Structure 1
């Protein structure tokens, strides 16, 4: 194998360096332990296949395949048709840096997350991984080797191949893999009508689709530039509404919010938020909705 190192700065001096040197992989191959596994488990419309485990002196690397079942494929197609999220085929010259809603949704449905633990024969957890964006939810990450982590979406976009790296497992030992969580995206049904005059005077509580949101205050940001409001910095004009929420059981995150005023004018919404898991096991959220480009106070949202 030939290892290549390229650089434009070395020791603080700018230049153009290209260094190549041979690496003898015989010793590495001699100590590589490769185990075919091929075990399958199906849950929530996803087939999870633990393909293999490779251990080298610096790390162990485990390969998973996650595949849609026929039921999952049919459900996603139904959601797309119901919401008008069908992605049209494009010619190469039609692609731009702007993603359509349909393309964003397609990406979400393709994204499949896992959380798992590996235990030794005594039941001690030696490895833990969690794909959740909020690491504090489950607090199970342990002995990960981050630069060994990667994934590849299948060509048909109906699954992924994932590689997870962690500190090397001991040769000749027996281990148990425990699946902790499976993360999938699905359409939300949450909707609410907020009287802004009431929001200015008092807290407004909304319950929809087993979510509860407590909204407090309404503030207009009237400048285009950067402005710090509370603990966060915002760019552009818009309106801010603080909130706290309890999400439905099994839901750990929300994304892609939108709003509209009484004239049916639509606005994009971004969130600054903090997540915790309550004693009830459900996810609790605090944060701020930023309704972009809303320039005057509406009667309702």
Structure 2
């Protein structure tokens, strides 16, 4: 590639180049001393412009206050290889050099506040020049035991952050008076958690859920190969959790925590040592703009700390369910247990216990309630009941069970619990809605008893309709709600309605499950004369499987 023209440099500064063109240009920067000197000259010009803004010499105290007030991206990227757990940067660098970088960064801040377009790629490279290290080789900033995610994450994220797997890019991009900041990242081969915020013109944080949900967030490798894009058809969206005030860290408004599975990316071939998370947001609230930001994520340390141990133990239950416990993996943010089963028609539950019988983790299918439905120490996901969905392999199924961190040195036993088998059922309730307004209707099916009645307080949405349901699930059925798992609702013409079961109360007493809730029908343009509520299968529960598997970690 030939040396850069002034026009190309301007396009690069303003982030007008395509990703492929930008990558080639940055590769040229890395090896071309002439272009590096030209860029350094531009930085010097930025410095001189910044000096014009400061009438008096900077004191050490003012240096510190300027640094703390600046967006962290320009300053903290300067020496990313430095150990940030040691003394502050102004004590490790001479004051003259620090003034130069501070003034240059302050000038960039003035450009941002003036409403001009801000290129995070250019800013990152400028800072790489100051550090005499090409930006495409710089490491993300790491901080051990200090940061918001040591207090704002779930148990696994917090533990990993405290143990030195916290990265603090503090990268920002501003447009139209809004500033998007990526503050912190925790990532390992299982998942990634990103702490972000959006500030408005008055420097106030707002949640702006839609900005993340409607924008594009891409995970790719250093070569630009896309591993996941939030806008791909069928792609699982990022889990969003608002972190409001509390724990003494959010007085100025909420942060947003974004989580996503990494274990299923890259077709099971393993993850690269470094990922790039690219944000491309076009709208915040009612304001259109351009917020593009690329954040490097270092996985090398977390991958080295992740250990997998083979188990390879099999068992077939009296119902014909064959289970094969394949392996267990310990990573900084949690534990993964891989189990194969030979059929989709049966489910299972289990506990992980230590040598004293204390439960370290427990799994049961999400449709099971009561004492046998206890799920303990699970790695949670706001979008679904399991962190990573099961994968079908022919007629078999591979299940991935994720738990919050468990001490790898503990002696563990997997203890199989109840097994759940799909069985045929024949439940049908025909509800005349005019009569239902006057009196409830009760229908029984193999020990299960349902009472339906008219809901006086209907949903606010005009095309929704609610039927109240009280149910007692008999001993012949697993402690579940067949209506929510297998229920079908049609009217007298055969029209099928989309529905959801709204649980108000669930109680498990004397071996029976009691449910009180509402059956919500959607898309009811005109109320039909009759509703037919039915299900043709359910799960039965079996307690005759006795199996324990020692988990050997070699420690």
Moved more, 244-253 or 127-136: 127-136
Instruction: Report if aligned partners of 1:237, 1:294 keep a CA contact under 8 Å in 2.
Output: no
CA deviations on 1:159-213 (whole Å, 9 max, x unpaired) are: 3212222233333432121223445555431023445565343332221232211
State the shift of 1:53 in Å: 0.9
Instruction: Find the aligned partners of 1:194 and 1:47 in 2 and give their Cα distance.
Output: 42
Give the match for residue 245 of structure 1: 471
Q: Does 1:288 align with 2:525?
A: no
**Which has the higher Rg, Structure 1 or Structure 2?**
2
State the shift of 1:55 in Å: 1.5
Give the match for residue 209 of structure 1: 446
Equivalent of residue 342 in structure 2, options 67, 88, 109: 67
Equivalent residues in 2 for 1:74-93, closer than 5 Å: none
Instruction: Report if aligned partners of 1:196, 1:300 keep a CA contact under 8 Å in 2.
Output: no
State the shift of 1:260 in Å: 4.1
Unaligned runs of 5+ in 1: 69-109, 220-228
Instruction: Find the aligned partners of 1:149 and 1:202 in 2 and give their Cα distance.
Output: 44
Give the match for residue 126 of structure 2: none
Q: Which has the higher contact order (CA 8 A, sep 6+)?
A: 1
Change (3 A) 1:257 1:295: same
Secondary structure of the structure 2 residue equivalent to 1:150 = coil
Give the match for residue 16 of structure 1: 292
How many aligned residue pairs are there?
242
Q: Does 1:33 align with 2:265?
A: no
Instruction: Report if aligned partners of 1:117, 1:127 keep a CA contact under 8 Å in 2.
Output: yes
Give the match for residue 81 of structure 1: none
Instruction: Find the aligned partners of 2:374 and 2:432 in 1 and give their Cα distance.
Output: 42
Unaligned runs of 5+ in 2: 1-272, 534-555
Change (3 A) 1:235 1:282: farther
Instruction: Find the aligned partners of 1:127 and 1:230 in 2 and give their Cα distance.
Output: 41
Instruction: Report if aligned partners of 1:42, 1:48 keep a CA contact under 8 Å in 2.
Output: yes
Instruction: Find the aligned partners of 2:438 and 2:297 in 1 and give their Cα distance.
Output: 70
Change (3 A) 1:241 1:58: closer
Secondary structure of the structure 1 residue equivalent to 2:436 = helix
TM-score (norm 2): 0.38
CA deviations on 1:22-50 (whole Å, 9 max, x unpaired) are: 6535x843x44322111122233322211
Instruction: Find the aligned partners of 1:23 and 1:194 in 2 and give their Cα distance.
Output: 57
Give the match for residue 323 of structure 2: 48
Instruction: Find the aligned partners of 1:14 and 1:144 in 2 and give their Cα distance.
Output: 38
Change (3 A) 1:172 1:216: closer
Give the match for residue 164 of structure 1: 401
